[in-house]
């Protein structure tokens, strides 16, 4: 087990990664660096990303930064779980080389910044409609992290499906020389997608939240009959749970992330978001329609 080196300075991280690349160059080799961006409060889903990262390169850098740009007014920025000591222990067990833990002042030394990445029309839909400006803030910090680390690859989770889509599109649109890898959602045995926010749920809410994944599973089974049948099957499972307050349930095209028409046939992705108590949860699944 390798104890990861915790770094809070951008300049120091540049120095450490530069040294690693120089050592490899001296022997005629190449050092592939892989980034796993997180906001901490790590769980088994994050660790699955780290394990995937190890298969893609030689040095794994995990960033832990609760990005204020992607939290709106009244959202849980101050109460978002911060478990740095436990996170470092978990990453040590995964042989992570560097853990980048910058402060907000380090990432945004001038405070508010004028230059931001805009997520475009898809960024205002679904999660973007519920959390205005969220995806602009997310893409801005991801762009900064890619610029700071200059990784060969970066790893994201499929649970945040709209986020993964927008990151992949940003990298393609801006010609960023980083490969984006997306890892399948890690779930509890009940089917509930792992999330740092699951810890906010009490026992009754935790049981109720399982209706989201149950609804998605029902949609997968019903999808051969068309989008309407898939949506109806998912609604039947989710709407039956009174503790779950549905925000959106939509079927989107995987290449555009726009809602598919009622006569659509082909690959698609169903997205769901809901509040269970005061906790907002999201999930998604790939479906084959028609």
Domains of the chain, CATH where assigned: 5-183 (3.40.50.620), 198-285 (3.30.1300.10)
The rounded distance, in Å, linking the Cα atoms of 40 and 46 is 9
Closest CA to 156 of 38, 59, 6, 19: 38
Sequence-distant (6+) residues with CB within 8 A of 257 are 122, 125, 162, 165, 269
**Residues of each annotated binding site for ATP:** 39-46, 157-160, 186, 194-197
Residues annotated within the binding site for (R)-pantoate are: 70, 163
Would you call 54 a catalytic residue per the annotation?
Answer: no
Rounded CA separation 117/195 (Å): 26
Neighbour-count burial of 285, counting CB atoms closer than 10 A to its CB (0-12 exposed, 13-18 middle, 19+ buried): buried
Instruction: Output the pLDDT for position 1.
Output: 65
Of 124, 118, 126, 119, nearest in space to 252 by CA:
126
pTM of the model: 0.95
Residue list for the binding site for beta-alanine: 70
In this structure, the strands spanning 244-252 and 153-157 are unpaired
> Per residue of the chain (290 residues), what is the pLDDT tens digit?
677 999 999 999 999 999 988 888 887 778 999 999 999 999 999 999 999 999 999 999 999 999 999 998 778 788 888 999 999 999 999 999 999 999 999 999 988 789 999 999 999 999 999 999 999 999 999 999 999 999 999 999 999 999 999 999 999 999 999 999 999 999 999 999 999 999 999 999 999 999 999 999 999 999 999 999 999 999 999 999 999 999 999 999 999 999 999 999 999 999 999 999 999 999 999 999 99
Tell me the residue length of the chain: 290
- Residue 45 has a pLDDT of 97
Across the chain, the runs of DSSP E, i.e. the strands, are 5-7, 33-38, 59-64, 98-100, 153-157, 179-183, 244-252, 266-276, 279-289
Contact call for residues 122 and 29 (beta carbons, < 8 A): no
pLDDT, tens only, 38-84? 999 999 999 999 999 999 999 999 999 999 999 987 787 888 889 99
Question: Binding site: what residues are annotated?
Answer: 39-46, 70, 157-160, 163, 186, 194-197
From the candidates 46, 54, 134, 235, which is the catalytic residue? 46
Q: What is the pLDDT of residues 148-158, one digit of tens each?
A: 999 999 999 99
pLDDT, residue 270, reads 98
Nearest Cα neighbor of 218 from 205, 231, 228 is 231
What pLDDT score was predicted for residue 284? Answer: 98
Q: Could you give the CA distance from residue 141 to residue 37 in angstroms, rounded to a whole number?
A: 10
Q: Please provide the average confidence, as pLDDT, over all residues in the chain.
A: 96
How are strands ordered across the β-sheet holding 244-252?
244-252, 266-276, 279-289
| Confidence (pLDDT) at 280 | 95
pLDDT of 117 reads 97
């Amino acid at each position: 087990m390798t104890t990861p080196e915790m770094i809070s300075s951008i300049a120091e991280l540049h120095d450490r990664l530069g040294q690693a690349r120089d050592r490899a160059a001296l022997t005629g080799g190449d050092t592939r660096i892989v980034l796993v961006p997180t906001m901490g409060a790590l769980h088994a889903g994050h660790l699955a990303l780290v394990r995937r990262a190890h298969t893609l390169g030689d040095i794994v850098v995990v960033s832990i930064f609760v990005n204020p740009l992607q939290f709106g007014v009244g959202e849980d920025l101050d109460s978002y779980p911060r478990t740095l000591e436990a996170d470092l222990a978990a990453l040590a067990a995964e042989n992570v080389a560097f853990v980048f833990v910058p402060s907000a002042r380090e990432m945004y030394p001038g405070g508010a910044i004028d230059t931001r990445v805009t997520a475009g029309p898809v960024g205002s839909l679904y999660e973007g409609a519920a959390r205005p400006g969220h995806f602009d803030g997310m893409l801005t910090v991801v762009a900064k992290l890619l610029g700071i680390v200059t990784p060969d690859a970066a790893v994201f989770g499929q649970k945040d499906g709209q986020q993964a889509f927008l990151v992949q599109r940003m990298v393609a649109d801006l010609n960023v020389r980083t490969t984006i890898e997306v890892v399948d959602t890690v779930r509890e045995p009940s089917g509930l997608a792992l999330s740092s926010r699951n810890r906010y749920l009490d026992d009754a809410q935790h049981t109720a939240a399982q209706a989201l994944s149950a609804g998605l599973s029902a949609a997968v089974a019903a999808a051969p009959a068309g989008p309407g049948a898939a949506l109806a099957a998912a609604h039947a499972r989710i709407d039956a749970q009174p503790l779950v307050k549905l925000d959106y349930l939509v079927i989107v095209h995987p290449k555009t992330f726009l809602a598919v028409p009622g006569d659509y046939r082909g690959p698609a992705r169903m997205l769901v978001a809901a509040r269970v108590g005061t906790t907002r949860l999201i999930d998604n699944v790939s479906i084959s329609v028609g």
